[in-house]
């Protein structure tokens, strides 16, 4: 799927969003939204000393609790080597530690440090605040329509075989 944001995107003033032109305008909006959110995410994470990949590991660990790297790799649907590199970086920057596994001498559990716990809690709080800023002003009916429309788009992407590990 080689979609890209066209240089002639028709955004705020499109009178009618119907047919192929309307579909293209809607896709332009989704792509612009993706670019804006991605840029904002990269800036915010960098300010906290994180990358999207390391943050994905932190979210996974938050969901799983202290875990061996092989379990994290399986949950993230990435290779063990990838997780090793991510954990190495997170250990070096003080977000996680490797602790001896209580029942497997060959394994280590990846666990949060105080800094890592604080970082994920801050990410959650920032996400809640950002969502409030984006959607609180929207009338309920419009917000519900937006969510329903996004659900439809995601279902279509899933039907086309696109999946997210999250």
Mean pLDDT of the chain: 89
The string of pLDDT tens digits covering residues 37-82 is: 999 999 999 998 999 999 999 999 999 999 999 999 999 999 999 9
Domain ranges of the chain: 16-47, 52-119
pLDDT given at position 62: 97
Distance CA 113, CA 101 (A): 16
The pLDDT assigned to 12 comes to 53
52-119: CATH class: mainly alpha
H-helix segments, 16-139:
19-47, 52-64, 69-76, 80-92, 114-135
Least confident segment among 4-8, 91-95, 109-113, 148-152: 4-8
Q: What is the average per-residue pLDDT within 158-163?
A: 90
- 128-140: pLDDT as tens digits: 999 999 999 999 9
> Residue 7: is its pLDDT beyond 90?
no
Question: Given a cut of 50, is residue 1 above it in pLDDT?
Answer: no
Q: Angle at which helices 52-64 and 19-47 pack, to 10 degrees? A: 80
State residue 3's pLDDT score: 46
Query: What is the per-residue pLDDT for 52?
Result: 94
pLDDT at 14: 52
């Amino acid at each position: 799927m080689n979609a890209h944001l066209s240089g002639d995107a028709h955004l705020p003033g499109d009178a009618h969003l119907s047919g192929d032109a309307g579909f293209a305008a809607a896709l332009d909006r989704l792509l612009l939204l993706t670019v804006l959110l991605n840029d904002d995410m990269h800036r915010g994470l960098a300010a906290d000393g994180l990358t999207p990949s390391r943050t994905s590991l932190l979210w996974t660990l938050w969901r799983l609790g202290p875990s061996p790297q092989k379990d994290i790799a399986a949950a993230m649907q990435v290779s063990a080597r990838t997780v090793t590199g991510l954990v190495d970086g997170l250990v070096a920057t003080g977000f996680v530690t490797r602790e001896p596994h209580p029942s497997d001498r060959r394994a280590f559990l990846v666990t949060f440090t105080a800094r890592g716990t604080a970082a994920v809690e801050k990410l959650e709080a920032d996400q809640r605040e950002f969502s409030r800023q984006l959607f609180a002003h929207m009338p309920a009916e419009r917000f519900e329509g937006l969510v329903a429309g996004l659900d439809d788009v995601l279902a279509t992407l899933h039907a086309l075989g696109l999946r997210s590990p999250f």
